């Protein structure tokens, strides 16, 4: 997957957001043929479902944090979001998936390397991959966040997942901050021109579902529904549909906290500079032992074909207007 293809995939997301479908079929799995998860597009069941082969997982939050919250509050919200999925009740047992927080990353690049990797969670302002050329479009401005799921395009095995959060300031026509840890009743919604805070834990809980291969549900009260009210905390708690998803994909097993959470090919927390402090160029092949930013490469581990699936949580301002129009028609 080249940088250009990554950019084009982002564009495709914006178009797909216009699609509307009716049939309710509850939770959806991301698949090798599923493309981007966006808006209310219908669930694609062709292809192999995306799934971690070893669901002992780790994540690292970029050390540069967000403009809107302290690093401590960010970490608390993110840790709680992953813990929510780990705590799902699969008929009395937890699902067979473990998420472990790592020390902070220095990595705002969505990438999968043939060398060491990190599942990074980063706040971006401007809202674009820093390795994109300046004339290429960034992520969808209506998205709160994007999770990029790198996977084997033959088997569906997930290889790496990177979560990017839109740290720009929201407007009447775009998503973004401010973010906060909202009270149980939700945050003050503010006004159309000056939106109030969005609940970070709600957004990250949704994205954490994509992180493990869950697509968009068409049940509006599910955490994995494709959109949410900006100021609401509803997505923090899993609906039965979300629980069904994780318990189906990762049924109770033998994992415990002593499991090895090292990413495929090892851990590299800093994807931007090497141990001598030199900048790692974006197009540098990642096959070297020092690691690198290899999204421009077309080879993966053992030369397996690999690609990405993007998944976004759309901002509410635009979607709400759209759904009002839909309501008016029906």
Q: How far is the CB of 87 from Zn ion (least distance, A)?
A: 20
Binding segment (CB under 5 A) for Zn ion, from list 112-120, 173-181, 276-284, 313-321: 313-321
Among 311, 315, 316, 319, binds Zn ion (CB under 5 A): 311
* Closer of 204 and 271 to Zn ion (Cβ): 204
Residue 145 lies near Zn ion (rule: CB under 5 A): no
Distance CA 330, CA 145 (A): 30
CB of 226 to Zn ion, least distance (A): 6
Q: Pick out residues in 270-309 that bind Zn ion (CB under 5 A).
A: none
Nearest in space to 212 (alpha carbons), one of 49, 52, 35:
52
Among 313, 315, 316, 319, indicate the residue that binds Zn ion (CB under 5 A).
313
The single-letter DSSP state of residue 288 is S
| Token couple for 128 | 């674009």
Query: Residue 163 Cβ, how far from Zn ion at the closest point, in Å?
Result: 11
- What CA–CA distances, in Å, run from 49 to 27, 32, 33, 181, 214? 13, 6, 9, 33, 9
CA distance 138 to 11: 8
State the minimum distance, in angstroms, from the CB of residue 7 to Zn ion. 19
Phi, psi of 116 (to 5 degrees): -60, 160
Between 245 and 311, whose beta carbon lies closer to Zn ion? 311
- Determine if 121 is a binding residue for Zn ion (CB under 5 A): no
Nearer to Zn ion, 220 or 301 (CB): 220
H-helix or E-strand spanning residue 211:
helix 200-211
Q: What are phi and psi of 311, to 5 degrees?
A: -140, 130
314 binds Zn ion (CB under 5 A): no
Chain residues in the site for Zn ion (CB under 5 A): 311, 313
């Amino acid at each position: 997957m080249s940088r250009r293809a990554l950019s084009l995939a982002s564009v495709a997301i914006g178009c797909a957001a216009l699609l509307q479908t009716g049939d309710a079929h509850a939770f959806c799995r991301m698949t090798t043929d599923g493309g981007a998860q966006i808006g209310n597009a219908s669930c694609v069941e062709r292809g192999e479902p995306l799934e971690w082969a070893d669901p002992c997982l780790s994540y690292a939050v970029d050390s540069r944090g967000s403009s809107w919250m302290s690093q401590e509050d960010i970490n608390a919200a993110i840790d709680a979001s992953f813990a929510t999925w780990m705590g799902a009740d699969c008929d009395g047992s937890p699902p067979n998936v473990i998420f472990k927080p790592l020390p902070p990353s220095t990595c705002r690049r969505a990438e999968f390397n043939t060398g060491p990797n990190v599942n990074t969670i980063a706040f971006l302002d401007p809202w674009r991959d820093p390795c994109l050329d300046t004339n290429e479009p960034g992520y969808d401005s209506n998205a709160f966040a994007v999770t990029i799921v790198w996977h084997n395009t033959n088997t569906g095995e997930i290889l790496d997942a990177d979560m990017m959060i839109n740290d720009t300031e929201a407007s009447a026509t775009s998503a973004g901050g401010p973010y906060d840890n909202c009270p149980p009743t939700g945050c003050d919604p503010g006004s159309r021109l000056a939106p109030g805070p969005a609940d970070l834990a709600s957004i990250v809980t949704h994205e954490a579902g994509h992180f493990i291969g869950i697509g968009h549900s068409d049940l509006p009260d599910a955490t994995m529904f494709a959109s949410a009210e900006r100021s609401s905390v509803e997505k923090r708690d899993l609906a039965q549909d979300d629980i069904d998803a994780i318990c189906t994909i990762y049924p109770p097993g033998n994992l415990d906290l002593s499991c090895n959470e090292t990413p495929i090919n090892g851990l590299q927390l800093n994807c931007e500079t090497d141990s001598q402090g030199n900048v790692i160029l974006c197009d540098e092949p990642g096959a070297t032992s020092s690691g690198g930013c290899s999204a421009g490469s077309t080879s993966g581990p053992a030369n397996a074909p690999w690609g990405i699936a993007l998944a976004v949580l759309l901002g509410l301002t635009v979607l709400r207007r759209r759904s009002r129009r839909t309501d008016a028609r029906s």
